[in-house]
């Protein structure tokens, strides 16, 4: 191999590596705006309180664009012994990670209730936000996991919120409009079936134990 061929080969390899690195970095930055590896349904562990689902009304991608309304919604289903619901909003990086040492944008405890849709208007934000919802379970709730450890808290639902939707994101706009329409029935009730269909929840989330209608409370 001549000296020219060697230099050319090295330059080509470096350029290929640069392209791969740039593409990979772009994918990491873009990923949070497509899907988020949290979960929109919390609960599901042992113990009455910890097993009770807490459901974020967001797309299955678990990424939700707030839009101008800044509305979020949580579903709470049946329970013989309901516990208060805690909602926390934390500033996040573009990668969807919580910013350490930063005061939450919102931390609110809502009184215990059953068969309820909670609608919250949250503070406006110009950067991504982590939304966490969980029940404040009693310490004596028998929430032992498969290893025998007792847990006093239910696993939270965890969703990534974005300030604005892309102009061509029809799903985000449709869901924002759905939440806005729910605001008109605050203090009244709404049917469960249309919510189940609109947000693509299966029978494992909303089963026959749920009533046909639930109350809507706005905060």
Give the pLDDT of residue 52: 85
| 143 and 151 Cβ atoms separated by less than 8 Å | yes
Q: How confident is the model at residue 58 (pLDDT cuts 50, 70, 90)?
A: very high
Contacts of 116 (CB under 8 A, 6+ apart): 75, 76, 214, 215, 216, 217
| 73 and 179 Cβ atoms separated by less than 8 Å | yes
Contacts of 139 (CB under 8 A, 6+ apart): 152
Give the pLDDT of residue 45: 65
Burial (CB count <10 Å: 0-12, 13-18, 19+), residue 156? buried
List pLDDT tens digits, range 27-45. Answer: 333 344 556 767 899 876 6
Give the pLDDT of residue 151: 46
Whole-model pTM: value is: 0.76
Every domain of the chain and the residues it spans: 3-32, 38-218
Distance between CA 133 and CA 159 in Å, rounded?
A: 9
List pLDDT tens digits, range 134-172. Answer: 998 876 554 444 444 444 456 789 999 998 766 667 888
Question: What DSSP designation does 200 have?
Answer: T
Stronger pLDDT, 131 or 31, i.e. the higher one: 131
| 73 and 118 Cβ atoms separated by less than 8 Å | yes
Structure-block tokens of residue 132: 């966490």
Give the pLDDT of residue 30: 39
- Domain spanning 38-218: which CATH class is it, in words? mainly beta
List pLDDT tens digits, range 79-119. Answer: 988 999 999 999 987 667 777 788 899 999 999 999 999 99
Kindly tell me if the per-residue pLDDT of 6 is higher than 50: no
Contacts of 74 (CB under 8 A, 6+ apart): 54, 55, 56, 57, 85, 87, 117, 118, 120, 133, 157
List pLDDT tens digits, range 175-216. Answer: 888 999 999 999 999 999 999 999 999 998 999 999 999 999
């Amino acid at each position: 191999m001549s000296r020219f061929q060697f230099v050319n080969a090295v330059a080509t390899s470096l350029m290929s590596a640069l392209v791969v690195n740039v593409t990979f970095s772009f994918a990491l930055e873009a990923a949070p705006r497509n899907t988020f590896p949290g979960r929109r349904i919390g609960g599901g562990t042992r113990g009455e309180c910890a097993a009770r689902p807490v459901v974020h009304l967001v797309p299955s991608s678990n990424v939700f664009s707030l839009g101008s309304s800044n509305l979020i919604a949580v579903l709470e289903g049946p329970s013989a012994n309901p516990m208060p619901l805690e909602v926390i909003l934390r500033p996040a990086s573009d990668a969807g990670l919580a910013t350490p040492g930063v005061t939450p944008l919102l931390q609110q405890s809502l009184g215990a209730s059953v068969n309820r849709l909670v609608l919250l208007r949250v503070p406006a934000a110009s950067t991504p936000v982590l939304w966490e919802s969980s029940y404040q379970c009693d310490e004596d709730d028998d929430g032992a996991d498969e290893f025998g450890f007792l847990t006093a808290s239910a696993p939270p639902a965890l969703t990534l919120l974005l300030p604005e939707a892309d102009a061509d994101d029809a799903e985000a706009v449709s869901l924002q409009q759905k939440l806005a329409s729910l605001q008109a029935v605050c203090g009244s009730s709404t049917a469960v079936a249309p919510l189940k269909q609109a947000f693509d929840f299966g029978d494992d989330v909303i089963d026959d134990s749920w009533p046909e209608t639930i109350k809507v409370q706005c905060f």
